[in-house]
Amino acid sequence: MRILIVEDEEKLCGILSRGLKSEGFAVDLAHDGLQGLELATSYTYDLIVLDVQLPKMTGTQLLQRLRQRDHYVPVLMLTARDAVSDKVVHFEAGADDYLTKPFSFAELLVRIKALMRRGPVQRSDSLKIADLEIDRLSRQVKRAGKRIELSPKEYALLEYLALNTGRVLSRTMIIEHVWDQSFEGLTNIVDVYVKQLRTKLDADYDKKLIKTSRGVGYTLTDEAAA
Ligand code: CA
């Protein structure tokens, strides 16, 4: 899951970015409205955290531009004000939720998870593929009822594959959603993580859920390999 944070307060940006990365999200940062708009229209994000008071273009203007261009990515607005009229303005501009500063990181995380669940693609609290169960609230993964321990990145990779069950995902797509813009490593990072995931998820079972499409990428599917 890839998140864009548009926030001009560097300290807050750093805290949010570190916190979200440690939760397994891929995070990109923009420090003014124009940069934010450029990133939001150039890449596919699963969610945008958007400050209202920004240099060059306000968060509200940025949001209006996005919605005018039919970008329906979930947007969580951050505002220093808490007047009811502001709330109305944000929702009218197309915000999905908003949070008044100062807020706790835990609160932000709860809101982000809630928005991602009801986002534009298939979202639900639990995902089930054959005997694999993923609880997106607690981030617990089970296979045939047996708990599987995953690192935050392994979980993020599995969740992305599971949200796109049956679809072949290229290494580039996976990197864009699970890692982030600053990631400049080798594309074989995906192969390394898929291998780790297979060891934990598929090795002990006859039915293999992660399939390789040679030269293309990977897919998580219930169906037998073609
Ligand atoms: Ca600001």
How many residues are present in the chain? Answer: 226
Residue 7 is predicted with a pLDDT of: 97
Q: What is the DSSP letter of 224?
A: P
Output the average pLDDT for the chain: 87
| Mean pLDDT, range 187-210, rounded to an integer | 93
pLDDT bracket for residue 82 (50, 70, 90): low
Provide the percentage of residues in the chain whose pLDDT is more than 70. 89
Going from the Cα of 217 to the center of ligand 1, the distance in angstroms, rounded, reads 40
* Position 120 pLDDT exceeds 60: no
As a whole number of angstroms, the longest Cα–Cα distance in the chain is 58
Instruction: Considering only residues 98 and 145, tell me which one the structure prediction assigns the higher pLDDT.
Output: 145
Rounded CA-CA distance 188/46 in Å is 23
Cβ-proximal residues to 56 (8 Å cutoff; 6+ apart), any chain: 32, 33, 34, 35
Task: Quote the tokens at residue 209.
Answer: 């859920």
| Mean pLDDT, range 57-84, rounded to an integer | 84
Going from the Cα of 198 to the center of ligand 1, the distance in angstroms, rounded, reads 43
Rounded CA-CA distance 120/46 in Å is 9
| Of the candidate ranges 4-8, 51-55, 179-183, the one whose mean pLDDT is the lowest | 179-183
Residue 96 is predicted with a pLDDT of: 84
Going from the Cα of 92 to the center of ligand 1, the distance in angstroms, rounded, reads 20
Going from the Cα of 40 to the center of ligand 1, the distance in angstroms, rounded, reads 18
Q: Which residues are close to ligand 1, an ion, with C-beta < 5 A?
A: 8, 51, 53
The model's pTM is 0.61
* Position 121 pLDDT exceeds 60: no
- For helices 152-163 and 188-201, the axis angle rounded to 10 degrees is 90
3-state secondary structure of 176: helix
Residue 123 is predicted with a pLDDT of: 45
pLDDT bracket for residue 127 (50, 70, 90): confident
Residue 43 is predicted with a pLDDT of: 87
Rounded CA-CA distance 76/151 in Å is 26
